[in-house]
Structure 1
């Protein structure tokens, strides 16, 4: 298979015109707050203990290791719905399978944690973990089981702090709340310096390349997410990212169910009302679903990445669809001195950084936030 050359510095098209305002993100841990929203009726009994954990300065997988160590179980007995940022204050759910065991005293976990007795390996010097609540349940927490994530983000160091600038930022938030944003995959999907794309190419050139199941999935997802972003960018350039194209496939808002364009006159109205969204392919084998103009557009983009195209087919990854438009719920904003605070809720699998990218022309992301 030929070597692959990617322009990893590509700038994907944006929906909104730039306001030419830059800002700094994650100067402090409390500048980026995330809370998972789950819809579960707990049974109150069962071998699984679900806990809602507030953390900062450490990643999700590391916390799972500490929970396993504290409970005296293997790490595979600990589950979580999704990964949360290390450089933020995040609240997320975990479940621990404890057959025949009582619910642990989580206050001891916090005490031991703060005294370094629990930790099997130090993550950083700034990690904090607190158990907010716990429930017994008869099922474990499944990956991707989230309903949504709520964000509260403070942007500092704005390049322009005139009153008019804050008015424009607030207006942009109102536009986003009404229209939505492009449902791009964020940079974190592709790894540091987009290394996951390089690893995907390496895997496709040598299918026997030994990888853990987790890393293999990570690299395959990065490859087709990259192609999805290019398809979506092309639709934005053609001003059809949120409009109907012949042969399109649509997705119900907040759902994974798709349906083909059947010529219904109500489709345009439902698109305008954000009830449904056009989709683009997450490449793999199987039915691509689109036809006509939509299929031609997707094929033109996919064919620009033959290594990824053929490699994903060889990997037997099944094709899926993803909405091109993301509806942003509970959008709010306010000025705090010379800082700008924005809050919103996104469905699981979407990226807060993509919302910020439509508000600010550029963001300086601090790699080592401080504690205040």
Structure 2
């Protein structure tokens, strides 16, 4: 099997502060074209797709909301205040970027027949488009995916970008976006400090730090497999997932049948989302993952101790319904759909260089 190279970066300490590199490998090499991403909120459009119909009745008032330049959590608190209910009674399927024009669902637990008149709700950049009753709370993660329409400006090399667009349609690394890790990897450092005994009372921050640590380990595996040319080539014991659902199993042998199933996207390679218990990969793949992540044993132990379980996530992400159109010689619009939990920034980083 291919071993992890000895130059794998370990968390270094400078003034007793750990440093976690966010310099993950590109699948197609660093983009040759420069460009501007999110020049304005209008350039980043996101529309949430729940994947199920609301019942029209029940104890939960669901709001289809368009927000421009507004924070999801702040808006949730404003809606709770307007409805006269505790903030904990307002939920949403996922956080959406503040710097964008986004449409998403909020659910407010308001038992009884009286629905507040949300046409009177006022908040800059916020429009309530629809009000529907439902019999269940919209929980975090309870969505099928998101539609994206993104405008990239000041493209320096149209030919290079068109080549990158052709490549990206075939798939990109399924990285968690850098926004999950905070500025300069702060959220990972905070997770490590928490694992070392610091008390974090804020449940949201605690969850954010746990997610950052887990996501960082996952990204490290993808980045290494790209470097070692193993992003398509399976190792013996690799854990593969059915593309149509989240069931997974280890490849106990590498044969023509398993390779054909991978090529036809019936199954896909995965990387670990760390937690308690044994890795679900086996043989060479387990040795590869264990060796690669050995520098991060404190993060692994902290995630396990905090109740997370071993799970898997696909290595590659293939944007659905992908299309592009040039608005002029230096401005292009990209449209695509991503499943829940996947990041548009993981697509954009393979297209343009924003550094």
Residue 184 of structure 1 aligns with which residue? 175
Given that 1:31 and 1:155 are in contact with CA atoms closer than 8 Å, whether structure 2 keeps it comes out as yes
Find the residue that maps to 1:363 and give its secondary structure.
coil
- 1:175 aligns to what? 167
Identify the residue that residue 4 of structure 2 maps to in structure 1.
none
Deviation at 1:284, TM superposition (A): 1.5
Shift of the 210–166 alpha-carbon distance from structure 1 to 2, 3 Å rule, reads closer
Say which is worse superposed, 275-284 or 143-152, in terms of deviation: 275-284
In 2, Cα distance between equivalents of 1:214 and 1:173: 36
Give the Cα–Cα distance (whole angstroms) in 2 for the partners of residues 88 and 254 of structure 1: 30
1:10 positional shift: 4.2
Is there any run of 5+ residues in structure 1 with no aligned partner, and where? 114-126, 365-372
Alignment of structure 1 residues 271-286 onto 2, 5 Å:
271-286=262-277
Q: What is the alpha-carbon distance in structure 2 between the residues aligned to residue 316 and residue 38 of structure 1? A: 27
Cross-structure match for 1:134: 131
In structure 2, the partner of 1:120 is: none
Q: CA deviation at 1:363?
A: 1.3
What's the counterpart of residue 122 of structure 1?
none
Q: Deviations over 1:199-243 (max 9, x none)?
A: 11111111x523322211211111121111111111111111123
Determine if the alignment matches structure 1 residue 296 to structure 2 residue 287.
yes
Q: Paired residue for 1:226?
A: 216
- Residue in structure 2 matched with residue 86 of structure 1 by the alignment: 98
Corresponding residue number in structure 1 for 2:27: 15
Q: Aligned pair 1:144/2:135, yes or no?
A: no
Q: Which residue of 2 aligns with 1:239?
A: 229
Change (3 A) 1:195 1:254: farther
Indicate the SS of the match to 1:250.
Answer: strand
1:260 aligns with 2:255: no
Deviation at 1:254, TM superposition (A): 5.3
1:10-49: CA deviation from partner (whole Å, max 9, x where unpaired): 4211111334111111111101111101122222211111
Q: Which residue number corresponds to residue 123 of structure 1? A: none
Give 1:269's match in structure 2, choosing from 242, 257, 260. 260
Equivalent pair of 1:334/1:341 in contact (CA under 8 Å): yes
Taking the aligned partners of 1:14 and 1:254, their CA distance within structure 2 comes to 26
- C-alpha distance in 1, partners of 2:320/2:140? 23
Deviates more, 1:95-104 or 1:47-56: 95-104
Secondary structure of the corresponding residue to residue 354 of structure 2? strand
**Shift of residue 166 of structure 1?**
2.5
Q: How far 1:322 moved relative to its partner?
A: 1.1
Please tell me whether the aligned partners of residues 147 and 336 of structure 2 are also in contact (alpha carbons under 8 angstroms): yes
Question: What residue ranges of structure 2 are gaps of 5+ in the alignment?
Answer: 1-11
Q: Counterpart of 1:153?
A: 150
The TM-score with structure 1 as length reference comes to: 0.86
Q: Provide the C-alpha distance between the structure 2 equivalents of 1:330 and 1:343, rounded to a whole number of angstroms.
A: 7
Aligned length: 340
Tell me how far 1:170 sits from its aligned partner: 2.8
| Contact kept in structure 2, 1:49 and 1:134, CA below 8 Å | yes
Pick from 70, 76, 100: which aligns with 1:64?
76
Q: 2:8 maps to which residue?
A: none
Quick one: which of 17, 32, 41 aligns to 1:29?
Answer: 41
Distance in structure 2 (CA, Å) of the matches to 1:234 and 1:96: 43
